[in-house]
Amino acid sequence: MSRLLDQLALALGRAPRRPEKVTEAAAAIHAAKRGKGVKGGELLEDIHEAHENHVWRNRRWIVLITLNLLFTLSFWIDIQLLEGSLTASRLFGFHLADPYSSLLVVLSEKHVPVNLAIGAVTIALFWGLVGGRAFCSWACPYHLVAEWAEMLHLRLAARGIVRDHPLHRATRSVLWLLFALLTFTTGYTLFLTLNPIGMLSRALVYGPSLALAWVVLLLAFEVLYARRAWCKYVCPIGLSYAFLGAKAPVRITYDLEPCAHEGECRKVCEVPHVLELTIKGRAEDAKLDVGPDCTRCGLCVDVCPTGALRYELKGVKRLL
């Protein structure tokens, strides 16, 4: 329980800390590795090869694109399979709704619509089982375009044209509360107006609008100034799912013993604070679950040359 609370505090914006206690198993592994660095040549080749595979990234992109296209096809073909958008929809007539967006609607209208409550609880249960911020990387259309924008940012940064300007991660927690308070006091759902997820989802279904100009501005800001700014420092939806999926059976796990501590996983991670445990001497146990702020994107799994990071289902050794 103490580790879970610590991981939730990280999601809220607290800086990572060294563990106060380390198990005997972890201490023995740390001692065996002390003074040993990353082996060159062969390991670097493994890292390069892992980068080229992108197995989990490609699976995730297929799922994300397919899911969002279902909204488009359902509308244009009029088959009423998946109606609406990611903010609020119906699957075969059954209501689905984003929990945080639903909370804002309730705060705005000062009552709880039954269909909205059913939809929010259903989605909360589903993503609570899948775990962490899996919605962000496996369903959110803005996450996908921001991921592509990040590739451009990294190329420009490598040439010295731009550099990242990290913001304080607690900004997201403050905004979570601020958007809710503003909605309750004014009756106006400011976040839903600014939310690029809803804008992109509706654009895919009903066609583009001037609202996409805001999405372009956000992406430009992320490319030129702050890498993945919306997802890391602003979006309250991601924070909500981190708490909802904190104890999910699907997780990414870390095995200390085979880890080479070369740091490639943290380089590709959108939220590298969840992978502080991969730094030499930081893991408090021989095997650990990666924290709930993890988006379950699988980039660290793809890039790990030793298999220290992997997808696992509780009760099952590993996922394919």
Residue 297: per-residue pLDDT: 95
Under DSSP, the state recorded for 15 is P
Residue 79: per-residue pLDDT: 75
Query: Rounded to an integer, what distance in angstroms lies between the CA atom of residue 213 and that of residue 217?
Result: 6
**R_g (Cα) of the chain, nearest Å:** 20
For residue 188, the enclosing domain spans 57-243
26 and 46 both lie in a single domain? yes
263 and 230 both lie in a single domain? no
Domain final residue pick, 210, 225, 243: 243
129 and 6 both lie in a single domain? no
Residue 80: per-residue pLDDT: 72
Query: Rounded to an integer, what distance in angstroms lies between the CA atom of residue 287 and that of residue 281?
Result: 13
Residue 23's SS3 state is coil
Residue 37: per-residue pLDDT: 55
| Regions in the chain scoring below 50 on pLDDT | 40-41, 50
Which region, left, alpha or beta, applies to residue 13 given φ > 0 means left and ψ of -120 to 50 means alpha? left
63 and 33 both lie in a single domain? no
Residue 280's SS3 state is coil
Overall domain count for the chain:
2
80 and 221 both lie in a single domain? yes
Under DSSP, the state recorded for 88 is E
203 and 308 both lie in a single domain? no
Q: Is residue 86 part of a domain?
A: yes
**Nearest alpha-carbon partner for 197 in 12, 8, 54, 64:** 64
Query: Tokens standing for 158?
Result: 């490598």
Residue 40: per-residue pLDDT: 43
Domain final residue pick, 212, 243, 274: 243
219 and 279 both lie in a single domain? no
**Nearest alpha-carbon partner for 132 in 6, 239, 284:** 239
50 and 90 both lie in a single domain? no
Residue 41: per-residue pLDDT: 45
Q: Is residue 16 part of a domain?
A: yes
Q: Is residue 33 part of a domain?
A: yes
Domain final residue pick, 188, 220, 243: 243
Which region, left, alpha or beta, applies to residue 314 given φ > 0 means left and ψ of -120 to 50 means alpha? beta
301 and 218 both lie in a single domain? no
User: Is 105 buried (19+), middle (13-18) or exposed (0-12) by CB count in 10 A?
Assistant: buried
156 and 202 both lie in a single domain? yes
21 and 90 both lie in a single domain? no
